[in-house]
Amino acid sequence: MRILTVALCLVMLASPVVGHELQIYTVIVNSEGGQPADIPNGTLKEGDSVWFWMKDTTENATLVILIEKDGATASSGDLVFECELDENGSKVNEDCNTRYDFVFNPHNSAGVWNFTFLTYVNDTLIKTSDGSVDIQVDLHDEMHENETVVAEDAKSDAELSTKSIAGIMAVISLFGILFIASQMGESNKFEEE
């Protein structure tokens, strides 16, 4: 059992890491507006997501979220507090939504994005509030792209990529583990005799 644990640890250490773990940030939109309206700087990077939840319980209220950066825009469509469900728990109207998920492009989405929260009651705009987020560049992806460009420009088979080196290290580690395991097995045989 110890051998298996050591083997798994060594293989994980030899595995290459690519990019950051994608994050999902939740914004609750209630009668006061977006909570938080302004997502703290440094929280999200390219490729991350924001989930906007409609939690305004005002009767007949709907919410539209507009997202904008440098002329690029996205809209949530109408969001409601809750959708009618049938006896199986499925939505009666498939177009009914209580949440809007927005994923920032993994490339070229860095910068300040502005949110506009439009609250309607009986199809009449009653409230507008604003928010924003500053999306950070995913530097690890940028470094990986630069390595790829350098490798393509050089077109040299002699250069090994980081993934190749990590793969070779994983194989060498596996052989080392097998060697140690075989030595431990032989020492156990001598002890039993």
Cα 154 to the center of its chain, rounded Å: 33
Give the three-class secondary structure for 98. Answer: coil
Q: What per-residue confidence (pLDDT) applies to 146?
A: 46
Q: Measured between alpha carbons, how far is 10 from 8 in angstroms, rounded to an integer?
A: 6
Is residue 169 within a helix (H) or strand (E), and if so which, with residue range?
helix 162-192
What is the per-residue pLDDT across 33-46, written as a single tens digit (0 to 9) for each? 999 989 998 889 99
Q: What per-residue confidence (pLDDT) applies to 168?
A: 77
Identify whether the C-beta of residue 74 lies closer than 8 Å to the C-beta of residue 102. yes
Identify whether the C-beta of residue 23 lies closer than 8 Å to the C-beta of residue 39. no
Q: Which of 3-17, 21-35, 128-142 has the highest mean pLDDT?
A: 21-35
- Give the pLDDT mean for 2-11: 52
What is the per-residue pLDDT across 105-163, written as a single tens digit (0 to 9) for each? 998 899 999 999 999 999 999 999 999 999 999 875 444 444 444 444 444 444 456 66
Q: Which residue has the tokens 């177009």?
A: 95
Most distant CA pair in the chain, distance: 89
CATH number given to 24-137: 2.60.40
